[in-house]
């Protein structure tokens, strides 16, 4: 692990070994873990379900404490929390973030879970360090990230 140097991997600075006691020393990161930010004590709920249809890195802003704030609700739909599907006539969103299921069938009712696919693509971009679509690739099989 000490030989790995990547922007998204914490740097191992050293280690200590004293008999059976051992410790790893990592670089200091002042904002602590992601857990601190996603499991905040001040959770505010919403009485409606928001189908964003446009989750992507560009539409997530970070405040001074790196708390994510979603914006651009131009394609969004509101529904009650009990409603599991909404009516949709055409595909909404940016290519690369639209679930293949949506593109390969006739439109009608779609699940609110489509945003979960978009969020998964966002996570893959974060982990992979590159956009999920790269039209400059020579092979068409390499254009999309997955």
Q: What pLDDT digit, counting tens, does each position of 10-42 carry?
A: 888 888 999 999 998 888 888 877 777 777 666
Predicted confidence band at 144 (pLDDT cuts at 50, 70, 90)?
low
* Whole-number CA gyration radius for the chain: 20
Q: How many CA atoms lie within 13 A of 82 on its CB side?
A: 0
| pLDDT score for 145 | 56
Predicted confidence band at 43 (pLDDT cuts at 50, 70, 90)?
low
Structural domains in the chain, sorted by start: 37-142 (1.10.510.10)
In this prediction, residues 49-67 reach a mean pLDDT of: 82
Of 55, 89, 87, nearest to 71 by C-alpha is 55
| pLDDT score for 16 | 92
C-alpha triplet 52, 99, 138: angle, nearest 5°: 120
Of 34, 58, 57, nearest to 125 by C-alpha is 57
φ and ψ at 33, to 5 degrees?
-90, 165
| pLDDT score for 2 | 62
pLDDT digits (tens, 9 = 90+) for 62-108: 888 887 888 787 777 788 878 777 777 667 777 777 777 676 655 56
Burial zone of 11 (CB within 10 Å; 0-12 exposed, 13-18 middle, 19+ buried): middle
- Judged against a pLDDT cut of 70, whether residue 139 lies above it is answered with no
- Judged against a pLDDT cut of 60, whether residue 142 lies above it is answered with no
- Judged against a pLDDT cut of 80, whether residue 7 lies above it is answered with no
- pTM comes to 0.55
- The CA–CA distances, whole Å, from 141 to 71, 95, 110, 117 equal 32, 15, 27, 20
Determine how many CB atoms are found less than 10 A away from the CB of residue 114: 23
């Amino acid at each position: 692990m000490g030989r790995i140097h990547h922007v998204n991997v914490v740097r191992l600075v050293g280690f200590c070994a004293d008999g059976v006691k051992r410790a790893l020393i990592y670089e200091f990161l002042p904002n602590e873990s992601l857990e601190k930010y996603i499991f905040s004590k001040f959770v505010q709920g919403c009485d409606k379900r928001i189908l964003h249809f446009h989750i992507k890195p560009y539409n997530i802003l970070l405040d001074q404490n790196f708390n994510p704030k979603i914006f651009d609700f131009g394609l969004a739909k509101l529904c009650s929390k009990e409603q599991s599907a909404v009516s949709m006539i055409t595909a909404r969103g940016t290519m690369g973030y639209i679930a293949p299921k949506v593109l390969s069938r006739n439109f009608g009712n779609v699940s609110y879970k489509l945003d979960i696919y978009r969020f998964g693509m966002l996570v893959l971009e974060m982990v992979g360090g590159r956009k999920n679509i790269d039209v400059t690739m020579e092979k068409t099989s390499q254009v999309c990230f997955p």
